[in-house]
Amino acid sequence: MKIKNKSELIIAILIPIAVGSLSALISGGTSLYSQINKPALSPPGYIFPIVWFILYILMGISSYIIYESNSPDKWNALKTYALQLFFNFWWSIIFFRFSLYLFAFLWLLVMIALITLMIYKFYQISRLSSYLQIPYLLWCLFAAYLNFMIYRMN
C-alpha cells in the first residue's frame, strides 16, 4: 500500500474511531455489560475497547485505500461504508443505553448485511481493502451470537 497523503490516512482512521468513541460515550456500555447475564463465550468487558480500536484502525485504512483509488465506483463503495458506520454507531446505543436486545440483534443483522455488501464493493476496487474488513465482519458475527444469547438470557 502506497500512502499518497498521510493526513488523509489519519483522518480516515480517526473517523471510525470518533464514531465508535462517541457511540460508546452515549451508550455507557461498560457499566451495563457487567450487570447483565451473559453466555459462556462472553469475553471480559476490557476486551471490547481493545478489539474495537484495532477494528476501527483497519476500517480507516481500508476506507483510505478506497478513497485514494481511481475507481469510478469508489463513491458508491464509500457510501456503503458510511451507512454501515451509521449502523455501527447506533447499535451500542440501542443495546446498552436502551437495553432493546432483540431490536439490537435485528439491527446488527442489517449491519452485518451492509458490512458484507461493503466488503464485496471494496473487493471490486481493492482486494487488500476488502481483506482488512474481514476481521470486522467476523467480530460482528460473534457479536450477533452474544447479542442473541443476551436477549435470550435477560
pLDDT tens digits, 99-149: 999 999 999 999 999 999 999 999 999 999 999 999 999 999 999 999 999
Q: What is the CATH number of the domain that holds 142?
A: 1.20.1260.100
Closest among 23, 24, 133 to 78, alpha carbons compared: 133
**Between 31 and 89, the higher pLDDT residue:** 89
Instruction: Please check whether residue 133 lies inside any domain of the structure.
Output: yes
The pLDDT of residue 5: 86
State the amino acid at position 112 in one-letter form. Answer: I
Mean local confidence (pLDDT), 62-75: 97
Instruction: Please check whether residue 66 lies inside any domain of the structure.
Output: yes
The pLDDT of residue 152: 97
The pLDDT of residue 30: 64
Instruction: Please check whether residue 70 lies inside any domain of the structure.
Output: yes
Instruction: Please check whether residue 35 lies inside any domain of the structure.
Output: yes
Written as one string, the DSSP assignment of 40-91 is TTPPPTTHHHHHHHHHHHHHHHHHHHHHHS--TTHHHHHHHHHHHHHHHHHH
The pLDDT of residue 34: 82
* 8 Å CB contact between 94 and 111: no
Counted domains in the chain: 1
The pLDDT of residue 32: 78
The pLDDT of residue 29: 64
Residues 18-65: tens digit of each pLDDT = 999 999 999 986 677 888 999 999 999 899 999 999 999 999 999 999
CA–CA dist 118, 124 (Å, integer): 10
The pLDDT of residue 28: 84
Enclosing domain of residue 123: 6-153
The confidence band for 94, taking pLDDT boundaries of 50, 70 and 90, is very high
